[in-house]
A and B are shown apart, each in its own frame.
Chain A
Amino acid sequence: MHRAERADALALGLAHLLAQPNRDPFAPEVVAVPSRGVERWLAQQLSHRLGAVDGDGVCANIRFPLYKQVLDEALAGADEQYRASVEAWAPERLVWPLMSTIDAVAPDPAFRVLALHLGVGADRGRRYAVAAKLARLFGAYASARPDMLTGWAAGRDEQGDGSPLPPDLVWQAQLWRHLRSEVQVPAPAELLDDACTDLAVPGLPERWSVFGLSRMSPSRLQVLAAIARRQDVHLWLHHPSPALWDTVSSSALEPGPRRGVVSPAANPFLASMSRDMVELHTLLRLHAPETGNEHHPGPSRPGTLLGRLQADLTADRPPAPTAAVDGSVTVHACHGRARQVEVLREAILAALAADPDLEPRDVVIMCPDIETFAPLIAASFGMAEQSGGHPAAVLRVKLADRSLQQTNPMLNLLAQVLDLVRSRVTATGLLDLVSAGPVRRAFGFDDDGVERIRGWAVTAGARWGLDAAHRAPYGLDRFAQGTWRAALDRVLLGAAMEEHGVAVGETLPLDDVDSGDLDLAGRFAELLDRVETAVEAMAGDHTIGEWAALLADTVFGLGQAEQTWQDIQVRSELDEVAETGAGSAVRLGIGDVASLLAHRLAGRPTRASFRTGSLTVCTLVPMRSVPHRVVCLLGMDDGAFPRHGISDGDDVLARAPRTGERDVRSEDRQLFLDAIMAAQDKLIVTYTGSDPRSGADVPPCVPLAELLDTIDATTAAGSVVTRHPLQPFDARNFTPGELTGTADPFSFDPVALAGARAAAGPRTPAPPVLARPLPAAATGDVNVDDLIRFFQHPAKGFLRQRLQVSTVTADDDPSDDLPIELDSLEKWGVGDRILRRLLEGHTIEDIARLEFLSGTLPPARLGRLVLTDVGPTAKRILDAAAVELALPATAADVHAQLADGRRLTGTVTGIRGRDILTVIYSSLGAKHRLAAWIQYLALTASNADVAGAVTIGRGSGGARRSYLSGLDAEQARMVLTWLVQLRDRGLTSPLPMAIATSEAYADARRRGFTHDNALSKASQKWAGMFPENTDPEHVLLYGGAVGLDELQAGPLAQQETGLFADETTRFGVLARAVWEPLLSHEQVS
């Protein structure tokens, strides 16, 4: 037995041992390790020692198997019966016979509680979950308490020490015996004693090592001790305290119930963190009492606070206030996880800046919850391609221990498919699948393609469900509207033909699909078809072998890997799953399979690479705590560490735990201790010390609180805890000495510094979009439609017609719900379409059918409710135009000569008789009347045979009609010239006008309101219930949703002076100049 406080001293000792070759120098050396993580590090360490010249040697012909494997294989190799037994009783294999056994015994009253538990679930999913759990438990019993299982086999319902099982757990012993006869092979526990008595191990050299042991189950220790009777086995123990070792050696501690055992350690922190180590020692004393043991002292600890802390632990003495706070241990209380990562980044940079010899590879970050922190770390470190120039951008970071699902997109796709298949297949769910990397590769969807499909899903109205039958579990199989089948039919029909308002059968072709989309539509249809096939196949129960094949077919049918290993990994995972249940006839539902795979896809320690040059981020797992100059512990939050480990009520071991039995809390505490001992220069710890929302103090996790207590007792004054501000751009981050007491500012973040400076500097308002008017644009002929569009929205007109800038309106988002009610905009859309189709001569019945087929209406009766509201309104508007509509529609060209010699051109359509007719579903408002006015002016000025312009829209209680008339050609030319020139000015700088606001003002003034009263009328349009000041164009030009005052600012142009003596603002003058001629020639009825 070899012991050392530090793993490097242990490795050095191992190198000395290995330097003496075994009898056969060509036979490989065997060094068994507890986890994959330690293997790379140990090989590196040994390569610096073995045959080394100047620290440059070679590590070859050494096998590093897992020690569990070595011991199990040693037994299996020695004893054929034992091998068969271990194989049959492996938990992942045991689950299948266990399910059959459970089915068989369920009716027996002895298993009533179990049967009730299984019977309550809505599906039979619990059966698998319970069997999997029991299989794991039986496995744990076998390794922790083989004696209990031999007792059970012999018909004694005991706990391993002869005491009876708690009455509520007796069923487990009974179940186990049923299982035993089902499996037909004795359990390993029954064979263990025999196997150990005469153990010859052919596969192992006469001398081999177990390195980095921290906890070993009693049954494996028994095997190890048996092997050691024949062979030289060197145990290499990472033990923090030789003093504690001696204390335990001379104590009366014996294996037994854990409860009530008091740690013999004198240092309270050591007492709290070292239970696993003390228990291992206790067990070793029992199983290998005469083992020789050697202590390999490490280098002496530095005189820092950290060194003092470690020396106290090594010597197992209570802390005394002998050290000063010196920066070797820093604890950072932050607002939440994202800030922890930022703060840690700055703290690491400070360490690197303070010591030029320190390299990123000397730093390790350990984090109990790497999946949560991984994206935050990726966002804070190594973003070399991002601008901003943060010095940490060049730090390369290596994340270890991620879950398979995170590292392999094909496994992620597998998980996604399992979720999708069990779901309602919503619009967003399926579109997520479409945009998954492997799916895009398999179906050749590029960014544009994904966008097109998304657009189709929205316009074709896909909401959820593959087809009507797929909705049966929700009782909605009578409704096919909004299914993917319905949407796809529309897409495919749309690819084949134009819409033209004609349905084919029950399908309306989608307008938005052109011939160039044919191929994309086909591939999308293929994808949907494969999803449908998967959904149908996975609805049934299958054996695990069938499931593995089905899942492989589905995932390779839907996705294509970027790299071959990803495919291979999926196949091997599924093959392994299938192999565990080979020969079992047990059938599972999809819920069981999902639960089974979730366990396999979770994170597990990987072969981490230390000292590759990158900064390593890894989880806390045994023997990961190899020495690093700087050790960082990230995320030591209350509740996150140590792991919960709520004990399962069915776990016999948890009822009365005994020495050496696994306890995740105690394991995590040991890891915490190891991490602290592994730090050479600096220990940096972060935790959430303040709630990021409320700012309230949050205590650290308990082990960290204990560490802080110990540090307080070790220091005479001062604190190692820094409470960080909420924001990275807080000035305190950049004030020397403010946060950490050092002479330098804490943060290295240049962007945050700029932010802090800006926050501290004077506040300046944002500059206006336009500092001075633009030069006049070229004057020439003007199109009548441009003129109309300009005055319908002068701000938009300026942006579009002069700057050629348009504001983006957000795309429609896909919705996952069937429409039940329509909002006012959607209702307007329906009304507008109905009115247009009525004008085109369709019948109301045809129109209603088209609306239903387009999926915009709520289903069935709920949709008809909308139609009974909207339809008659449209009809009334149409009726109000009956006289005009009876006449044929004609068009007339515009060619008006303006007063300044320019020409107005274009075409006006919709002329009925001598009137221009506009029929709209909207309320009769300023926008449409102004358009009609300009059309009327244009045709009159062109000497066309026009009497007036009729606009018919919605009014309270029915239709309203505006009739504009009464100008001759000359008057029309005057007004038009003025408008065209106003537009010229409005193209050099925005006009202080807004259509409804200006109309309201002009109308009020015309009706005799004072300036102030008219303004308040205008204000209701500008910033009222349907405000114009929040239009994106107004927000862009005025820097926000401003008040009407700001619209009134600005001087009059020369052409505008003297028009209205009683107007004091340009807003007022322009409103009246544009609207008064219209209002005085309008009749509304």
Chain B
Amino acid sequence: MSAIFDLYGPLPTGTTVLEASAGTGKTFTIAGLVTRYVAEGVCQLDDMLVVTFGRAATQELRDRVRERLVTARDGLSDPATARTQTGDVLLRHLAIGDDTEVANRRARLATALAGFDAATVATTHQFCQQMLIGLGTAADLDADATLVESIDDLVDEVARDLYVRMWAGDYVTFVPMTQAQALEVARAAVHDEQATLVPDTAARDSAPDLRVRFARKVREDVDARKRARRILGFDDLLTRLQSTLTDPDTGPAAAARLQGRYRVVLVDEFQDTDPVQWDILRRAFHGAATLVLIGDPKQAIYAFRGADVHAYLDA
């Protein structure tokens, strides 16, 4: 079902997809929604989660949301003027009502601003990190793990070790790839952890078979060394949170925790969500919290992922 979204109409509940093309003021819409949820007392700022893609987008969005809250708070100090002015529709919307309610709205906005650092306006990775810490012992995360920008050095180390292990031995009859190829295979296998490694039907000890076995072993060893050294790559944040949520032992409690923590979740650039990210959002929030997905249907990648989204939503 689709309809034209009215920023000043009833606030979305349940799971809602907002289609907004680039340049249609997506940031404006998100900032307006956050301000309304807070001012109208639906939830507090720290009950909300706003997910974006990329650090720069997050910084900008946070800045814009704060600005919006500030202008609304300041504008509501004079409700009479706010009701009659025409430039700021949102402010006028918030100023309508009896004076006590308007004063309450202003107080809610002021409180939100006083704790604005606590607002979760985050990239998916930041959000996952916060959640993993926020789940404590329920999550598969070392309390003293270090998050590293890049694990390429580790992958190269593992690949070189395996290269020597597999192909420097005296019994080896041939070497199926050069060092450069091996490093490339290793990095590709680790970076796209979801990808299935094929062929799995190649003849034992044929070149394709050796390459696949190499790639599998790289994944395994990289994971083991990461755990031993207590380091985490960025993508691990997603997969660890996903595995925590899907685990039959920890999953239900973890999902309950997330739902208790966030009542309204806004996801910007939804078309860029990958299956892991979507799985996390779905398990944690779909059907339990207000989940507003804002995306641009015209962007090409949406075709693949958007289709998935509707399928997920139907399910």
Query: A interface vs B, CB < 8 Å?
Result: 112-114, 116-117, 120-123, 125-126, 129-130, 132-133, 166, 168, 259-263, 268, 271-273, 275, 318, 422, 474-476, 478-479, 591, 595, 598, 638, 642, 646-651, 665-666, 669, 691, 696, 698-699, 702-703, 705-706, 709, 713, 817-818, 820-821, 858-863, 865
Contact call A595/B140, Cβ cutoff below 8 A: no
- Complex: how many Å from CA A479 to CA B256? 51
- Complex: how many Å from CA A598 to CA B227? 18
Q: A122-B228, A168-B257, A648-B136 are in contact. Are A116 and B250 (CB under 8 A)?
A: yes
Contact call A646/B137, Cβ cutoff below 8 A: no
B283 partner residues in chain A, CB cutoff 8 A: none
A422 partner residues in chain B, CB cutoff 8 A: 229
Contact call B135/A649, Cβ cutoff below 8 A: yes
- Complex: how many Å from CA A133 to CA B179? 44
B165 partner residues in chain A, CB cutoff 8 A: 474-476
Contact call A820/B249, Cβ cutoff below 8 A: no
- Complex: how many Å from CA A648 to CA B132? 9
Q: A262-B111, A271-B110, A649-B137 are in contact. Are A861 and B62 (CB under 8 A)?
A: no
Q: Which of B79-87, B169-177, B305-313 contacts A (4 or more CB under 8 A)?
A: B169-177
Query: B interface vs A, CB < 8 Å?
Result: 44, 56, 59-60, 62-63, 66, 70, 73-74, 77, 107-108, 110-111, 113-118, 129-130, 133-140, 142-144, 157, 160-161, 163-165, 167-170, 172, 175, 178-179, 224, 227-230, 249-250, 253, 256-257, 260
Q: Which of the residues B70, B140, B175, B230 comes within 8 Å of A865, measured between beta carbons?
A: B175
- Complex: how many Å from CA A1059 to CA B208? 65
What's the count of A-B pairs with C-beta under 8 Å?
Answer: 148
- Complex: how many Å from CA A595 to CA B118? 28
Which of B136, B165, B179 has its CB near the most chain A CB atoms (within 10 A)? B136
Contact call B137/A479, Cβ cutoff below 8 A: no
B257 partner residues in chain A, CB cutoff 8 A: 168, 649
**Closest residue to A471 on the B side, CB-wise?**
B161
Q: Which of the residues A133, A595, A665 comes within 8 Å of B117, measured between beta carbons?
A: A665
Contact call B44/A706, Cβ cutoff below 8 A: no
B134 partner residues in chain A, CB cutoff 8 A: 646-649
A647 partner residues in chain B, CB cutoff 8 A: 133-134
B110 partner residues in chain A, CB cutoff 8 A: 262-263, 268, 271
A638 partner residues in chain B, CB cutoff 8 A: 59, 62
Contact call B138/A861, Cβ cutoff below 8 A: no
Instruction: Enumerate 30 A-B pairs (CB-CB under 8 Å) in ascending A order.
Output: A113-B137, A116-B249, A117-B139, A120-B140, A122-B224, A123-B228, A130-B137, A133-B143, A261-B111, A262-B107, A263-B111, A268-B73, A273-B114, A475-B165, A476-B164, A591-B230, A647-B134, A648-B136, A649-B133, A665-B115, A699-B60, A702-B117, A705-B63, A705-B66, A709-B70, A821-B179, A860-B168, A861-B169, A863-B168, A865-B175
A480 to chain B, nearest CB (A): 12
- Complex: how many Å from CA A116 to CA B138? 8
Q: A263-B110, A665-B118 are in contact. Are A129 and B160 (CB under 8 A)?
A: no
Contact call A861/B139, Cβ cutoff below 8 A: no
**Closest residue to A129 on the B side, CB-wise?**
B143
B125 to chain A, nearest CB (A): 13
B117 partner residues in chain A, CB cutoff 8 A: 642, 665, 669, 702-703
B308 to chain A, nearest CB (A): 30
Contact call A696/B70, Cβ cutoff below 8 A: no
A715 to chain B, nearest CB (A): 15
Contact call B137/A117, Cβ cutoff below 8 A: yes
Contact call B113/A272, Cβ cutoff below 8 A: yes
- Complex: how many Å from CA A84 to CA B28? 60
**Closest residue to A169 on the B side, CB-wise?**
B136
Contact call A268/B113, Cβ cutoff below 8 A: yes
Q: Which of the residues B144, B256, B260 comes within 8 Å of A595, measured between beta carbons?
A: B144
- Complex: how many Å from CA A713 to CA B74? 10
Contact call B168/A479, Cβ cutoff below 8 A: yes
A117 partner residues in chain B, CB cutoff 8 A: 137-140
- Complex: how many Å from CA A858 to CA B165? 12
B64 to chain A, nearest CB (A): 9
Contact call B114/A817, Cβ cutoff below 8 A: no
B160 partner residues in chain A, CB cutoff 8 A: 817-818, 820
- Complex: how many Å from CA A703 to CA B170? 65
B229 partner residues in chain A, CB cutoff 8 A: 422
- Complex: how many Å from CA A698 to CA B55? 10
A475 partner residues in chain B, CB cutoff 8 A: 161, 165
Q: Which of the residues A133, A318, A706, A863 comes within 8 Å of B113, measured between beta carbons?
A: A706
- Complex: how many Å from CA A227 to CA B107? 39
Q: A649-B133, A820-B160 are in contact. Are A702 and B256 (CB under 8 A)?
A: no
Q: Which of the residues A113, A318, A665, A817 comes within 8 Å of B250, measured between beta carbons?
A: A113
**Closest residue to B104 on the A side, CB-wise?**
A262
- Complex: how many Å from CA A651 to CA B138? 12
Contact call B224/A649, Cβ cutoff below 8 A: no
Given contacts A268-B113, A709-B70, 4 further A-B contacts (CB under 8 A): A129-B142, A474-B165, A646-B134, A858-B164
A336 to chain B, nearest CB (A): 15
- Complex: how many Å from CA A205 to CA B3? 76
- Complex: how many Å from CA A862 to CA B167? 7
Which of B62, B142, B249 has its CB near the most chain A CB atoms (within 10 A)? B142
- Complex: how many Å from CA A307 to CA B139? 50
- Complex: how many Å from CA A262 to CA B136? 29
- Complex: how many Å from CA A117 to CA B138? 7
